[in-house]
Amino acid sequence: MINIHQLFAIASLCISVSLSGTPEPPIYNSLSTSHPESALQGMVASREKLASEAALTVLRNGGNAIDAAVTLGFAMAVTTPQAGNIGGGGFMLIHSADTDTTVAIDYREKAPLAAKRDMFLDEDGNVDKELSRYSHLSAGVPGTVAGFALALEKYGTITLAEALAPAIELAKKGFPINEDLYQSLKTGKARIEKHAPHAIDLFYDEDGKALPPGHTIRLPELAKTLALIAEQGADAFYKGPIADLIVSDMQSNGGIITKQDLAQYQAVVREPVRGTYKGYEIVSMPPPSSGGVHIVQILNILEPFDLKESGHNSARTIHLMAEAMKFAYADRSKHLGDSDFNPIPVNWLTSKTYATDIRSRMNLDHATPSLKILPGEPIHEGLDTTNFTVMDKHGNAVANTYTVNFSFGSKIMPPGTGFFLNNEMDDFSSKPGVPNAYGLIGGEYNSIESEKRMLSSMSPTLVLKDGKPFLLSGSRGGSQIITVTLQVLLNVLEHGMNLSEAVSAPRIHHQWLPDVLRMEEGISADTQNLLEDMGYEVKVGGAMGTANSVSLQDDVFYGAGDPRRPDTHAVGF
């Protein structure tokens, strides 16, 4: 029950808001057990507190969402080196209020010019996982610096140097290790020691133990690298002294990235994938991301069903989602790749007509065996990526997902640079029909070719309501990114959850092969038993994804950091 002091506080808030001419944040539903952050001027959600606060400062100082997002991305390259990066790549979805348009910036890594289809096969024709994951050959040409520079040039209001300033400060003066980085350092020590021994002193004590949470670390080489980009622009990375350091390390260790590879790398502005779901417009990433295509595809399949009536995470609702997921992931293995190299049937895959065809093939009462959908081979699991979202008071919105693939990527840090290189070449189908580290099978469209971008599951996604930004989401989690992002959308649009509830709710995942329905803790044993009776092999396991999300509802911004990772952070003002 609200007491007299609370009533007085609420009344005072209403008066002050009314006098200032700004809307009053709605009082939370008393039935909700989890609540998002709220604000009136803008919102930022990311995996790391210091980076979120750097982005919020940009918004406070008059910058737009694009300025804040790029600032955040560079800051995370310092404070979250296991996932944030300048040695990898990703995708950025931007809604520009000035033009009332949404664009997709593709800064995914590319295969070097010297890349060959069979470069990771041994003499017996089998994939050499050490080569594809932990060698200099495993690195694609990085795209992050080019992507961020392009976003600022076309849609930002601050300079590249201004966007880099907080990151340089953090790298130079230091920052406290958080729990997330500490756990990654513990897990990655053996590989980092093997592939980047010069980085050991940065992250580990004299006894070889990961520096604990709260310990301040400084990254002077990374500070120097970022300062060069601030002074000389992206050319410092792709044509100047940073490129020289990367190429020198490649030449010394059997790598194939050359000065030409770096000099001709370009980020690309693409038309997003679009769909609709019960009156909302869904906008997401096009190929070489598979995320947008399959989020729209799965939503199309599910749209005629009343999932709200069947209940959130009920056996029926989970069954319908899992069936739709299986068909989508089977299509992913067969049809998706880099659209610059192969014709990708995006319009067909995202059509309502095709969704109707899939529904006719679904068994509404029993699990369809995955091999009846499409023959394939058994596959595995994996992750480490990061997603962040930003909205500003002007109507601009950014969802960004970027990665170095594994935690700390290839674990290779070119001497003098201070950053880890990606191992994204493993995201190609090194041998069509054989799964990559994330348990995903690819076909000919995702085979290795010179200058091709490797297929990705990264899914930064925007939901528009009446043509205006309503919800931004995305996730980390390898093959689970698509289904995690999907469930955040469904939790809000279908089940009426507030953003914090939507991000926190237990998740499920099915990726066609292996033919296993994965669940987080928190879904009842009775539901699991019902699903097993329907023919599913159910496995309950660890947390899926990190879906840091923001939304704008009734002129109030909401933000939710995903509780599955320590230090996720949503801040607004």
Return the active site residues.
385
Describe the strand order of the beta sheet including 508-509 as a list of residue ranges.
508-509, 517-520, 538-541
Write the CB contacts of 453 (distance below 8 Å, at least 6 apart in sequence).
106, 108, 109, 110, 111, 288, 338, 340
The residues, any chain, with a CB within 8 Å of residue 6's CB and separated by 6 or more, are none
Whole-number Å distance between alpha carbons of 534 and 365: 7
Chain-centroid distance, C-alpha 95: 17
Question: What are the φ/ψ torsions at residue 173 (nearest 5 degrees)?
Answer: -90, -20
The count of other CB atoms within 10 Å of the CB of residue 229 is: 26
Residue 198 amino acid letter: H
120-145: b or e for each residue (b if 16 or more CB lie within 10 Å)? Answer: bbeeeeebbeebbbbbbbbbbbbbbb
Any idea of the CA torsion for 228, 232, 233, 238, to the nearest 10 degrees?
A: -80
Do 422 and 139 meet the contact criterion of CB atoms below 8 Å apart?
yes
- Beta strands 468-473; 549-553: pairing state: antiparallel
Task: Report phi then psi at 68, rounded to 5.
Answer: -65, -40
**What's the CA gap between 182 and 217, in Å, rounded?**
12
Residue 176: alpha-carbon gap to chain centroid:
24
Residue 256 has φ and ψ, to the nearest 5°, of -125, 5
**What is the distance between the alpha carbons of residues 8 and 211, in angstroms, rounded to a whole number?**
48
CA distance 460 to 84: 15
Q: Are 491 and 501 in contact (CB under 8 A)?
A: yes
148 within 8 A of 74, measured Cβ to Cβ: yes
**Residue 92 belongs to what H/E stretch?**
strand 89-96
CA distances for 15 relative to 12, 109, 414, 473, 570, angstroms: 5, 52, 58, 34, 27
Give the pair of three-digit tokens for residue 142.
Answer: 């990085």
* Strand 538-541 relative to strand 517-520, pairing: parallel
Minimal CA–CA distance to 560: which of 45, 29, 26? 45
Contacts of 353 (CB under 8 A, 6+ apart): none
Contact 463, 281 (CB under 8 A): yes
Phi-psi region of 18 (alpha: psi -120 to 50; beta: other; left: phi over 0): alpha
